Amino acid sequence: MRWVAYMPLRAGSKSIPDKNIRSLAGRPLFAWALEAALASKCFDAVYAGSDAGSIRAAVSQRFGDRVGLFERAAATCSDTASTEAAMLEFAAEVEFDVLCLVQATSPLTAPDDFRAAKEKFIDEGLDSLLTAVPWRRFFWTPDGRPVNYDPARRPRRQEFEGWLMENGAFYLTKAALLSESGVRLGGRIGIHRMDPRSALEIDDPHDWTMAEQLLRASLRIPGLREIHTLVLDVDGTLTDGGMYYGPDGEALKKFNTRDAHGIGRLRAAGVRVCVISAEDSPAVAARMRKIKVDEYHPGIADKPALLAARAESWNVALGRIAYMGDDLGDLDCLRRSGVAFCPADAVPEIRAEADYVCALAGGAGAVREVCDLILAATQK
């Protein structure tokens, strides 16, 4: 059977402008659920579809050929168009036996959710499946009638089984069912239960704030727990990118004390820190001595070559190296490393490539933010 995941996206969000491509906790909104679908390895192909060239370009920049692009008709992207219309449009062009409709507005979906749902779908011989969360609340109609309990025999909350609330994270639908009925749910229906926090769907600015807090608190960056070495650029990453010149040339660069403390904590935890710079600056050399970074390599014209050489000398796979940079000279290193980080003010090409875009700018604590993320992941 051919399993295909599809995320329909559109550009016309009114409550949160450009919602689908806006950065949420360091990644575009669409990237969270798509990355989980890819990481699950449940699908023969993963697609994203939109009528907006800007959205398709953003997906392509982020995922390259790992995610196929589908050009949607404007009619299926209107405010009144149904999701089923988008599914049927996709089904007319792409072959599959089971379609997984993935919703960008559910960024808390995890790879294990796809795996468990697929297993359930196969084991129980289902025709369709929805995701839901347990909801232990008492409901009433607007005119004052109880819906799901008897007020005369009010159960204790801990003894109340509750209901399951559809959270819209994703749906599994057999091609035959979709073709014959035109709907995503029918036939033998199954339910995959998800973490209660995944009840959050992003529809308004308040949802966005809540999702950002939840994602930053339990950040999922594939490979982060395996990081053995952090490699840092200097200008625009460890500094604010400013260069202060006097009559005799460069005199000063601005570093951040919190970054230094984060680097110290990483090294104390056994994570190697290496600094590579295209410049050969006495000010940077002095700073590296001060914070006791022995792996400092100035004046490097070919950063990717040095990164590969150092990885070999350390006997560390590139997949266990995290790299942080801010400009085009760092692009190849970011692509070759296991985890790619960048400051908030990195150039657009770097932000598109990064696994995580910091909330802070270069020289303003972005490196400390990355150090804390690595520590939180590797110490679990």
What is the residue whose two structure tokens read 């679908």? 37
pLDDT recorded at residue 265? 95
Q: What's the pLDDT at 237? A: 97
328 phi/psi in degrees, rounded to 5: -60, -30
Q: Which residues are catalytic?
A: 154
Specify the pLDDT at position 161. Answer: 78
Residue given tokens 């700018």 in the structure block:
361
Q: What is the pLDDT of residue 380?
A: 53
Supply the pLDDT for residue 109: 93
Confidence (pLDDT) at 139: 87
**pLDDT for residue 366:** 94
* Four-CA torsion 196, 197, 199, 201, nearest 10 degrees: -170
Beta strands in the chain (DSSP E): 3-8, 23-24, 27-28, 45-50, 68-71, 98-102, 128-135, 163-174, 189-193, 229-232, 244-246, 249-252, 272-276, 295-297, 321-324, 339-342, 356-357
Q: Count the neighbouring beta carbons within 10 Å of the beta carbon of residue 254.
A: 15
Q: Do 57 and 18 touch, CB atoms closer than 8 A?
A: no
Q: Write down the pTM of the prediction.
A: 0.66
Q: At what angle do helices 29-40 and 53-63 cross, to 10 degrees?
A: 50
Contact 106, 100 (CB under 8 A): no
What letter does residue 326 receive in the DSSP assignment? -
Three-state secondary structure call for residue 281: coil
Regions of the chain with pLDDT less than 50: none
- How many degrees, rounded to 5, is the angle at CA 40 between CA 197 and CA 325? 85
